[in-house]
Amino acid sequence: MAAPVPPGAPRPGANSQPPPPRNVNPNYQTNPNSLADNMQNLNLNRPVSMPNSGPRPSPFGQQPPFPQSGGSAGFPGALPPMARPGPPPGMMGRPAVPPTGPPQSALPANVPPGRPLGQPSGHSSPFGSRPPPGSLSSSTGGAVLPSSAFPSSGAPSGGVAPPMPGARPNVFMSSPPLTGPAAPLSRAPAGPLSNGPPAIVSGALPGASQFPLAPSASQPPVGPPLTMMSARAPAQAPTMRSVLGSPAVTSPPVQPMPSASPFSAVPQARPPPPGSPYGPQTWPMQPQQGAQAPPIPGSTQAQPPRMFGMPQPPTNQAMTTIPPAIGQPGAPLSGPSKIDPNQIPRPIPIPSSSPIVYETRQGNSANPPPPATSDYVVRDTGNCSPRYMRCTINQIPCTADLLTTSSMQLALLVQPMALPHPSEDPIQVVDFGESGPVRCSRCKGYINPFMKFIDQGRKFICNLCGFTDETPRDYHCNLGPDGRRRDADERPELCRGAVEFVASKEYMVRDPMPAVYFFLIDVSMNAIQTGATAAACSAINQVISDLPEGPRTLVGIATFDSTIHFYNLKRALQQPLMLIVPDIQDVYTPLETDVIVQLSECRQHLELLLENIPTMFQSSTTAESCFGAAIKASYLAMKSTGGKLLVFQSVMPSVGIGALSSREAEGRTNISAGEKEAHKLLLPADKILKTMAIEFAEYQVCVDVFVTTQTYVDIASISVIPRTTGGQVYYYYPFSAVSDSAKLYNDLRWNITRPQGFEAVMRVRCSQGIQVQDYSGNFCKRIPTDIDLPGIDCDKCILVTLKHDDKLQDGSECAFQCALLYTTVYGQRRIRVTNLSLPCTNMLSNLFRSADLDTQFACLLKRAAIEIPTSPLVQVREQVTNLCINILFSYRKFCATVSSSGQLILPEALKLLPLYTLALMKSTGLRNDGRIDDRSFWFNYVSSLSTPLAVPLVYPRMFAIHNLSTKEGDESVLPPIIPLSSEHVSDDGIYFLENGEDALIYFGSSVDSSILQQLFGFTSVDEAPAQFVIQQYDNPLSKKFNDVVNVVRRQRCSYLRLTLCKKGDPSGMLFFSCMVEDKNASGPSYVEFLVHIHRQIQMKMS
């Protein structure tokens, strides 16, 4: 369980590093108080956790220190200790930082780390528990536990839950809060085991927070308790905590509750500053699917968990049965036969009504971020929000060897324009006037909170390259006693991880470009007849009003079939003038000026035109499409400004520049070649489009393609253009005018209205010792260090892989700075700078503890996607599996305490890695039975996919909607999440499954017709229409269902493409192919897969 994570390490650190407190502490202290309040809430959790801890202790027992501590700590005790541990961990983490932690504030300081730890480790559980805590206070641990329970995941049965809850919950509860601390502790112990304790300690703190749970869990204490990793984690956690708590925090903790509170606070601590209340909530979110906000209370927890099988109760049971099997640390699998499918690790959704508050740094140390999928509010205290940038490991290995040993990837996932939480402070804009932002004169790094000012502030040391720069005279400021500039807190660039600088002239090669939107619509026969053209026109027509007002917004429109039709929208004309470019081998723009005009000047013409287009081409019998030529011509029209080119394409480009052939069909007829080089179909057919795309990028034209088709269109080739120009592909297959029009509109609307920038250049700089190896995502790269983004928006994420070029110093921090120079839609030139400074470590266990599962998986996913078109599928699948096995093996070999070889031990932080790996292997992209276009779309979609959406893509969320509760007072809109296993799909149920892009609605064969009637307006499954549009009927169930869908849409920033699935029908097959835990043609069942991994690890061990 996550709980185990106990950040023992931190504490040690704290202990060891008590020395120099930092200024920060004071704040923390105050926080603690507030935290204390929270703590009470947490208390509830603790009790719950306690139970679990109880059982676990024994396992821990094996590991003397922790277990004991855990045991001794007892819930109450444990909590307090935990709390302290937290602080220490913080300290620990800081070790490098030392000063902060130790001092009185230490505790608070620690707390923060503890929290992180708690979160991470507990991920779901701890957090979940915490948030609940607040609510729980009343309901008490019971509820809380569940959340924490997730760790125990094992416990599926609701039945068990009730009884268990009470006890375990407490345990868990404690554990969660404890978790934070616990983790450190565990590490501490672990530390000793693997590395020197101290070292661990430090590492533990930060890492601990998240990882702790897992790792710590994995560590001796946890292991034993729960068979499953998750299960153990919690168990350990408690123990750990107690242990940790006692050591470090002891005194403060005295009052278990208070202390606990502090700790919990601790976790909250970070939050505490903002508001203690948030803190708790935050955590709850942590569970990966934190999305479900509403149901925070214990009650909800209890239920949801059960649903998922995660509930603690099961845990207990699992414990009993499984314990033997489990190794100390991870969740061991004693033997395949013994595995209880209900107890294997699964993502635990922790519903929460309010988001977690997360401070990016606490006690002058990086605070590991909550899971990407959770609902959290960031307070930028030096590091940027994890939404903008997060690292696969929240501690940076000092050496390349260490990283290699861990088998993990070191990479950043950068999403520079990511949508903030509504409650977050907006990024502050700093204007340095004409001189532009202060930068390092050597590496050109931008001023940031980690630049160290020396010599009375006259100089500063660049945290990226280490060079000592003179402070510009007008930027000079004296240092305070703490060594910081006195004005540091007033200057966003010195106290915030993310700021935006107003770009001076120096950053402009020309005036900032206007916001240009050029719509290009397929009007070939097919597009007209399927209604795609009409849908596109209507979508555009509706969206026009959402375009920014003002003279800087320019629009243009063109249509194409076998020729390209531009339209002169100038107001002076009585009606639009159609300009046809017939030479599709060598295109050009038909007008220099009036093809793209100010929106305000052409609104009426545009609307009229959009209304007319579908009828104007109604009788067209032109089947050909000159897509390539059309975008080239449009580009030429936009060349002088750049801008967004939105293309609506319905058939395969068959004529003109970049015409494509039906490779898919050829591949089928030529079977031998097709099989041998199947992946070649996923590569662009030729270089023409790529060359074009690079040209587009050079002139800042960003292309988005909306593919509304019934046939193969060779997305592999087409997608090169959006990928290279910072755009994206939208894929509607098979396009249905009835059901897809709304999504098309919504996609288009979001595309245009979402926060975005133009003509951007991005570069990531790293501290000495680390350098950027490569970027991947949707952009154009002309020089190795920078990437050009004609368009960048809040949904686009870029994978930045890193490599060592030198050793890093243990205890130091490694900084990453992403600078994005872009133009806003309002024509301001800005530089968005996001900074992340992470501690370095020499401890392998720290790496595991601080591993970020979501980020790691996103990285894995993206790398697999890159491989797909160039390598045989078998090879890609093998690589994916091996990566998973290698990581687990590394952990098993170097971090886990000795245990029965029959146990599969998983690091707490990565306990879901096997599940996600399995899901990935069964995903569209890695199956070989999929349509070529589906696969092409899949890996293109992945290339810019953000971290929070990575997991859902392969491991969708499934809800039952036939029994949506409609009772009053239930705040949670989303029903519990159901594991993706056909066992959980009953014949009389209706299920809603979504992956962030598509949604399936599945009807069992014996669904109650009244429910059908209520939800869909028909009474029999047979009446289900092929083209479906969700409607709201006047009944609570339907209303609730619509609410659910809307909440999901909002969460995903996607309208979701709805498909009705019926049993025994191809659509039903589609649905069941999403049941990734089932055994099917594309892979083994989850349990089998775990067994397979276990075997592989065993083989490697021997």
Partner 1 sequence: MSEMANMDSEGIDAVRMTWNVWPRTKVEASKCVIPLAASIAPIRPHTDIPMLPYAPLRCKTCSAVLNAFARVDFMAKIWICPFCYQRNHFPPHYAMISETNLPGELYPQYTTVQYALQSFPDPNNSNATQLPPVFVFVLDTCMIEEELEFVKSALKQAIGLLPEHALVGFVSFGTQVQVHELGFSDMSKVYVFRGSKEISREQVLEQLGLGSAGRRPTVGYPKVLQNGYANTGVNRFLLPASDCEYTLDTLLDELQTDQWPVQAGHRASRCTGVALSVSAGLLAACLPGTGARIIALVGGPCTEGPGTIVSKDLSEPVRSHKDLDKDAAPYFKKAVKFYDSIAKQLVSQGHVLDLFASALDQVGVAEMKVAVERTGGLVVLAESFGHSVFKDSFKRVFEDGEHSLGLCFNGMLEINCSKDIKIQGVIGPCTSLEKKGPNVADTVIGEGNTTAWKMCGLNKSTSLTVLFDLSSTERSNVPGAANSQFYLQFLTSYQDPEGKTMLRVTTVTRQWVDSTVSSEELLRGFDQETAAVVMARVTSLKMETEEGFDATRWLDRNLIRLCSKFGDYRKDDPSSFTLNPCFSLFPQFMFNLRRSQFVQVFNNSPDETAYFRMLLNRENITNAAVMIQPSLISYSFNSLPQPALLDVASISADRILLLDSYFSIVVFHGMTIAQWRNMGYQNQPEHQAFAELLQAPQADAQMIIQERFPVPRLVVCDQHGSQARFLLAKLNPSATYNNSSDIAAGSDIIFTDDVSLQVFFEHLQRLAVQS
Residues within the interface to partner 1 (CB under 8 A): 562-563, 565-566, 572-583, 586, 588, 590-594, 609, 612, 615-622
* Residues 6+ positions from 921 with CB-CB distance below 8 Å: 877, 880, 881, 1082, 1083
The span from the CA of 114 to the CA of 83, in Å, is: 7
Residue in 290, 258, 286, 234 with CA at minimum distance from that of residue 111: 258
Compare residues 501 and 566 and give the one whose CB is closer to partner 1. Answer: 566
The answer to whether 101 and 270 have CB atoms below 8 angstroms apart is no
b/e per residue 628-663 (b: at least 16 CB within 10 A): bbbbbbbbbbbbebbbbbbbbbbbbbbbbbbbbeeb
1039 vs 1054: CA distance, rounded Å: 20
Q: Rounded to the nearest whole angstrom, what is the least distance from the CB of residue 643 to partner 1 in the complex?
A: 19
Tell me how far apart the alpha carbons of residues 25 and 17 are, in angstroms, rounded to a whole number. Answer: 14
Question: CA–CA separation, 734 vs 713, rounded Å?
Answer: 11
* DSSP code at position 7: B
Closest approach of Cβ 607 to partner 1, in Å?
A: 14
* Closer residue to partner 1, CB minimum distance, 549 or 592: 592
Q: Pick left, alpha or beta for residue 998 (phi over 0 → left; psi -120 to 50 → alpha; otherwise beta).
A: beta
Going by the DSSP 8-state scheme, the letter that residue 459 receives in this structure is E
Please, what's the b/e burial string for 420-447 (b: 16 or more CB within 10 A of its CB; e: otherwise)? bbeebeebeebebeeebbbbbeebebbb
State which amino acid sits at residue 281: Q
- Nearest Cα residue to 149 out of 366, 360, 359, 308: 308
148/52 Cα distance (integer angstroms):
10
Provide the minimum distance between the beta carbon of 648 and partner 1 in the complex, in angstroms, as a whole number. 18
How far is the C-alpha of 7 from the C-alpha of 117, rounded, in Å?
Answer: 6
Q: How far is the CB of 591 from partner 1 (least distance, A)?
A: 6
Q: How far is the CB of 543 from partner 1 (least distance, A)?
A: 22
Inter-residue contact 565 to 579 (CB < 8 Å): yes
Cβ closer to partner 1: 618 or 773? 618
| Long-range CB pairs of 562-565, under 8 A, 24+ apart, other chains included | 562/524, 562/622, 562/624, 562/625, 562/626, 562/655, 562/656, 563/626, 564/626, 564/629, 564/630, 564/633, 564/634, 565/523
Written as one string, the DSSP assignment of 487-555 is TTTT-HHHH-SEEEEEP-GGG-SSSPPPEEEEEEEE-SHHHHHTTHHHHHHHHHHHHGGGSPPSTTEEE
364 token code pair: 């002058």
Type of residue at 434: E
Please state the closest distance from residue 540 (CB atom) to partner 1, in A: 17
Least separation, in Å, of the C-beta of 622 and partner 1? 6
Q: Which is nearer to partner 1, 450 or 617 (CB)?
A: 617
Amino acid at 930: G
Residue nearer to partner 1 on the CB measure, 363 or 514: 514
What is the C-alpha separation between 98 and 514, in angstroms, rounded? 50
Supply the minimum distance, in Å, between the C-beta of residue 630 and partner 1.
Answer: 14
Distance CA 219, CA 241 (A): 13
Distance, in Å, from the CA atom of 674 to the CA atom of 297, rounded to the nearest integer, reads 55
DSSP readout, 809-863?
Answer: -TTSEEEEEEEEEEEETTS-EEEEEEEEEEEEE--HHHHHHTB-HHHHHHHHHHH
CB of 294 closer than 8 Å to CB of 351: yes
How far is 625 from 532, CA to CA, in rounded Å?
Answer: 14
Q: How far is the CB of 577 from partner 1 (least distance, A)?
A: 4
The least CB distance from residue 599 to partner 1, in Å, is 19
Closer residue to partner 1, CB minimum distance, 575 or 809: 575
Specify the pairing of strand 389-391 against strand 411-414: antiparallel
Nearest to 664 by CA among 676, 681, 641: 681
Q: Give the H or E element holding residue 694.
A: helix 688-698
Instruction: Give whichever of 357 and 597 is closer to partner 1, judged by the CB atom.
Output: 597
Q: Rounded CA gap, 180 and 174, in Å?
A: 10
* Minimum distance, C-beta of residue 349 to partner 1, in the bound complex (Å): 54
Q: Which candidate, 1041, 1084, 1053, places its Cα nearest to that of 949? A: 1053
Query: Which 3 state secondary structure label does DSSP give 613?
Result: helix
